[in-house]
């Protein structure tokens, strides 16, 4: 190294030496490299010598990168970073790079849009391989809005021409549940056998939820969270739906709603059992082991010819035969010694008695001395085909004790029924005004003659108070001769625009729900 008389820019020391390899000037006292020391001005036009710190892409003497090479290098580093945070393997990360290279013509990219493209390609790669990666989790890791990420996914799928379930399979809700079980902190300290038991129970319930249309047209992650909470409770694991929903990147309120719908479905299944009328939302979790045992055994039963048996005989005589047939015997009804029990169905009944409403006694039941009720510990068999991932057609063919309609369809039917009642009530109010001498007025006169006028006035006031904004809108539409079938659909703004205001500016309908 050669010395220099210049002062250090950091410590002002004069002990500066020049490195023979890099040519940089270094302070011998503090070790700081002096910036811009080896700058050489460009002399002689464009063909003159170039300094190390001036040329774009230079990282030091002997290293020279073009702008494209540097951009590609930084882009690939960013891809590795995000795929690592998503927990994807090296081969999948390479598939993501290949897909991005194909989309961008080997240019890759920079800017705020590029991480969104990385997340979209990671999601598409996993879906193509029929593996689970929730889009909400990708959006959380990338740090973008789920809707913006969804639009990018749609553009990627359209660009690659992925069509049909063979090229772009449906979202794997079973795989998503299994992934959640493996990564959930609530189950991280459990033994391998217990985790496997929870996994099988959860897969069984998830596919039952698919059969009951709890996932149809909805985001699947809240259903995953609901099933995780339920199987956790059944296996003595302390789980909170808020924590589980946060882990699987699901909305908490929606997860609570799906959990309630799942319990309501179990209550409906329980109605086929002898004590089903006593099972409610409040105690269904305590009775869930026996309900699920019935569902599991029913799913393993062979289908019965409907032409040879009535529906009632199928439910009682065949479908429940393996589960509770012995429960209805007289010796069980009045109690027998524990050592004389020979089959699981008797234990099934006993466990139910202990679980009902959280007490150890059964109303109206006398027991002999020495007779004890034992909870059914071995209620889960795990041999049903629904514990394995099945195709949708296979799931729908299974009988688990309930053939439910989609909740959205049922809710829509209820809304239509409610609107029909409002339409009929509005027609009566209109008729009362337009025809005062009708039978309704005569009825009111008869009432006045037999009842106190003050009571009638109070009842009329209550009748008026029951009319809300929706009733007034329906009256207006009926007076403008709008078809009742159109009113039933509930598109009030559009109907008012077309039939009342004639395309003019109209006020918005209040968002308050009708009573």
Residue by residue, DSSP assigns 226-286 as HHHHHHHHHTT----HHHHHHHTT--HHHHHHHHHHHHHHHHHHHTTSTTGGG--TTTHHH
What's the Rg (C-alpha) of the chain? 36
State the Cα–Cα distance between residues 275 and 286, nearest whole angstrom.
Answer: 13
Q: Is residue 82 within 8 Å of 142, Cβ to Cβ? A: yes
- Give the per-residue pLDDT at 502: 74
- Give the per-residue pLDDT at 355: 45
pLDDT at position 58 over 80? no
- Give the per-residue pLDDT at 418: 92
Which stretches of 288-339 are assigned E, i.e. beta strand?
A: none
E strand or H helix at 25: strand 25-27
pLDDT at position 513 over 70? no
Span 66-72, mean pLDDT? 86
331-351 confidence digits (pLDDT tens): 333 333 333 323 334 334 544
Greatest mean pLDDT among 256-265, 404-413, 427-436 lies in 256-265
State the Cα–Cα distance between residues 85 and 168, nearest whole angstrom.
Answer: 24
Greatest mean pLDDT among 108-112, 265-269, 404-408, 442-446 lies in 265-269
Q: How does residue 31 score in pLDDT terms, banded at 50, 70 and 90?
A: low
133-171 confidence digits (pLDDT tens): 899 999 999 999 999 999 999 999 999 999 888 888 888
Q: What is the DSSP secondary structure assignment for residue 6, as one 8-state letter?
A: S
Per the prediction, the chain carries an average pLDDT of: 76
Q: Is residue 123 within 8 Å of 146, Cβ to Cβ? A: no
Q: Is the dihedral of CA 386, 392, 398, 401 positive or negative?
A: positive
Task: Judge residue 86's burial from the number of C-beta atoms within 10 Å of its C-beta, 0-12 exposed, 13-18 middle, 19 or more buried.
Answer: buried
E strand or H helix at 59: strand 58-60
Span 12-19, mean pLDDT? 77
- Give the per-residue pLDDT at 90: 86
**Model-level pTM?**
0.64
Pinpoint the residues of the chain covered by CATH 1.10.472.10.
Answer: 66-160, 173-302
Question: Which residues in 244-282 are b (16+ Cβ under 10 Å) and which e?
Answer: bbebbbbebebbbebbebbbbbbbbbbebbebeeebeee
Q: How does residue 353 score in pLDDT terms, banded at 50, 70 and 90?
A: very low
Greater model confidence, 487 or 19: 487
Q: What is the DSSP secondary structure assignment for residue 190, as one 8-state letter?
A: S
Assign domain 173-302 to a CATH class: mainly alpha
Q: Is residue 33 within 8 Å of 26, Cβ to Cβ? A: yes
Beta-strand pair 58-60/2-4:
unpaired
Q: Is residue 73 within 8 Å of 82, Cβ to Cβ? A: no
Q: Is residue 395 within 8 Å of 207, Cβ to Cβ? A: yes
Can you tell me whether residue 58 is helix, strand or coil? strand
Look up residue 295 and give its two tokens. 């569902």
- Give the per-residue pLDDT at 514: 45
The architecture CATH gives domain 66-160: Orthogonal Bundle (1.10)
- Give the per-residue pLDDT at 4: 55
State the Cα–Cα distance between residues 58 and 73, nearest whole angstrom.
Answer: 14
Span 509-514, mean pLDDT? 52
Count other C-beta atoms under 10 Å from residue 342's C-beta: 8
- Give the per-residue pLDDT at 47: 56
Q: How does residue 245 score in pLDDT terms, banded at 50, 70 and 90?
A: very high
């Amino acid at each position: 190294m050669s010395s220099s008389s210049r002062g250090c820019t950091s410590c002002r020391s004069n002990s500066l030496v020049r490195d023979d390899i890099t040519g940089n000037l270094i302070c011998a006292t503090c070790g700081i490299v002096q910036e811009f020391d080896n700058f050489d001005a460009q002399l002689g036009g464009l063909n003159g010598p170039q300094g190390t710190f001036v040329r774009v892409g230079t990282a030091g003497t002997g290293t020279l990168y073009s702008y494209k090479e540097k951009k590609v290098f930084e882009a690939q580093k960013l891809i590795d970073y995000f795929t690592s945070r998503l927990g994807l393997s090296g081969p999948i990360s390479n598939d993501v790079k290949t897909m991005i290279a194909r989309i961008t013509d080997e240019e890759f990219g920079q800017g705020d849009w590029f991480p969104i493209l990385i997340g979209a390609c990671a999601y598409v790669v996993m879906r193509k391989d029929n593996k689970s990666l929730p889009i909400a989790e990708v959006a959380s890791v990338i740090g973008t809005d789920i809707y913006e990420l969804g639009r990018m996914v749609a553009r990627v799928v359209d660009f690659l021409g992925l069509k049909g379930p063979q090229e772009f399979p449906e979202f794997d809700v079973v795989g998503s549940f299994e992934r959640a079980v493996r990564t959930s902190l609530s189950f991280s300290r459990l033994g391998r056998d217990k985790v496997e038991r929870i996994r099988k129970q959860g897969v069984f319930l998830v596919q039952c939820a698919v059969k009951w249309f709890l996932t149809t047209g909805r985001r699947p992650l809240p259903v995953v969270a609901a099933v995780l909470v339920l199987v956790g409770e059944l296996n003595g694991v302390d789980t909170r739906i808020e924590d589980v929903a946060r882990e699987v990147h699901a909305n908490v309120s929606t997860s609570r709603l799906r959990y309630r719908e799942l319990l309501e479905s179990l209550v409906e299944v329980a109605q086929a059992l002898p004590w089903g009328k006593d099972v409610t939302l409040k105690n269904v979790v305590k009775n869930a082991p026996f309900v699920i045992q019935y569902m599991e055994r029913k799913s393993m039963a062979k289908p019965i010819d409907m032409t040879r048996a009535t529906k009632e005989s199928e439910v009682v005589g065949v479908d429940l035969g393996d589960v509770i047939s012995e429960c209805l015997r007289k010796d069980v009804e009045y109690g027998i010694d524990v050592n004389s029990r020979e089959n699981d169905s008797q234990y099934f009944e006993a466990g139910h008695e202990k679980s009902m409403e959280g007490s150890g006694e059964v109303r109206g039941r006398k027991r002999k001395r020495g007779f004890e009720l034992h909870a059914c510990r071995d209620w889960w068999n795990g041999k049903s085909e629904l514990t394995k991932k099945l195709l949708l057609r296979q799931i729908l063919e299974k009988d688990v004790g309930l053939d439910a309609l989609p909740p959205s369809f049922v809710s829509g039917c209820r809304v239509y029924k409610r609107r029909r009642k409002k339409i009929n009530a509005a027609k009566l109010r209109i008729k009362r005004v337009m025809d005062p001498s009708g039978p309704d007025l005569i009825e009111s006169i008869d009432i006045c003659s037999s009842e106190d006028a003050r009571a009638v006035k109070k009842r009329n006031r209550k009748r008026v108070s029951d009319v809300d904004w929706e009733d007034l809108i329906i009256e207006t539409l009926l007076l403008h001769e709008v078809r009742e079938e159109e009113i039933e659909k509930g598109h009030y703004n559009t109907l008012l625009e077309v039939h009342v205001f004639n395309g003019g500016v109209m006020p918005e309908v209040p968002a308050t729900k009708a009573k």
